[in-house]
Amino acid sequence: MPNPAQYRSFLFVPGNRPERFAKALDSGADAVIVDLEDAVAPASKDEARDAAAAWLSPERPVMIRVNACDTPWFERDAELGKLRGVAGIVLPKAESAADVIALVSRTKSRLPVFPLIESAKGMFNALEIAKAPFVQQLMFGTLDFCADMNMATDDDVLDPFRANLVMISKVAGIRPPIDGVTPAIDDEHALNAETLNGKRRGFAGKLCIHPRQVATVNACYAPSDSELAWAKRVLDAFSNAKGAAIAVDGKMVDRPVVLRAQTILEGVRARITQHRRSMRGGE
């Protein structure tokens, strides 16, 4: 798995389907989320939790999506956070900082928390949620949010809320948020369009519900050839200017532009380094 700061794709796998866990890890997803919530029927919740607990290992770290704080399964789900092999916890239906604190108090760990904003109340309180202990990134539960708001799931309707989550994440000093799923697993055009839309709005990655979505999400969030070329031109010009004012492609280059160029190239270098390490590990 790459550095958590570089995660783009987050793949859900049902917690009651342990035969799929290894396949999810082999999908190319940056993070795998063993799902104990939406993907598991109430009658199978205990079975799913037991299956996840039996499979967890520090050699194959995964994230866990627990059930919401107000459900009868929450406390036992949260106990999984004490086990080795859990890389982070996704908290659904997060509506206040108290929800995050309730989770952390039960895991008794410093695991990163990924609250899912899925309701009007969660969106209204998103800043306090983002500032809660151990929150690494917010996630946008678009389908549940639309259901709660009684609104369409079109991107143009959701985009103002996306902008809100990006701004809140910046103010709270955490990583940019993760966008919601594309439910049509066979619609490559829709997946590509929705992923690029989230990227343009400032999101850092996207939730996936099927392995075949992973490659598209990773490709969309990777810098394009033109972006890489631009970043190199900016940094070369900045290096050669020795403090003088410069312009690249007819536009002035100031500190924020240089930082963006550095971020693009550093992300690529980090992934190359991670790939080389994984290749050496497989030798």
Q: Is the pLDDT of residue 104 over 90?
A: yes
CA angle 218, 271, 254 (to 5 degrees): 90
Residues annotated within the binding site are 65, 118, 144
Q: Is the pLDDT of residue 74 over 60?
A: yes
The mean pLDDT of 191-203, rounded to a whole number, is: 95
> pTM for this structure?
0.84
What pLDDT shows up at residue 242? 73
Q: Is the pLDDT of residue 279 over 50?
A: no
What pLDDT shows up at residue 248? 84
130: confidence class by pLDDT, cuts 50, 70, 90: very high
- CATH 3.20.20.60 for domain 4-221, yes or no, is yes
What pLDDT shows up at residue 283? 45
Residues annotated within the binding site for Mg(2+) are 118, 144
Q: Is the pLDDT of residue 269 over 90?
A: no
pLDDT tens, position by position, 146-191: 999 999 988 889 999 999 999 999 999 999 999 999 999 999 999 9
Q: If DSSP states are collapsed to H, E and C, what string results for the chain? A: CCCHHHCCEEEEEECCCHHHHHHHHCCCCCEEEEECCCCCCHHHHHHHHHHHHHHCCCCCCEEEECCCCCCCCHHHHHHHHHCCCEEEEEECCCCCHHHHHHHHHHHCCCCCEEEEECCHHHHHCHHHHHCCCCECCCEECHHHHHHHHCCCCCHHHHHHHHHHHHHHHHHHCCCCCEECCCCCCCCHHHHHHHHHHHHHCCCCEEEECCHHHHHHHHHHHCCCHHHHHHHHHHHHHHHHHCCCCEEECCEEECHHHHHHHHHHHHHHHHHHHHHHHHHHHCC
pLDDT tens, position by position, 236-263: 888 887 777 788 888 878 777 887 777 7
Across the chain, what does the average pLDDT equal? 90
The mean pLDDT of 18-38, rounded to a whole number, is: 96
Domains in the chain: boundaries: 4-221, 225-281
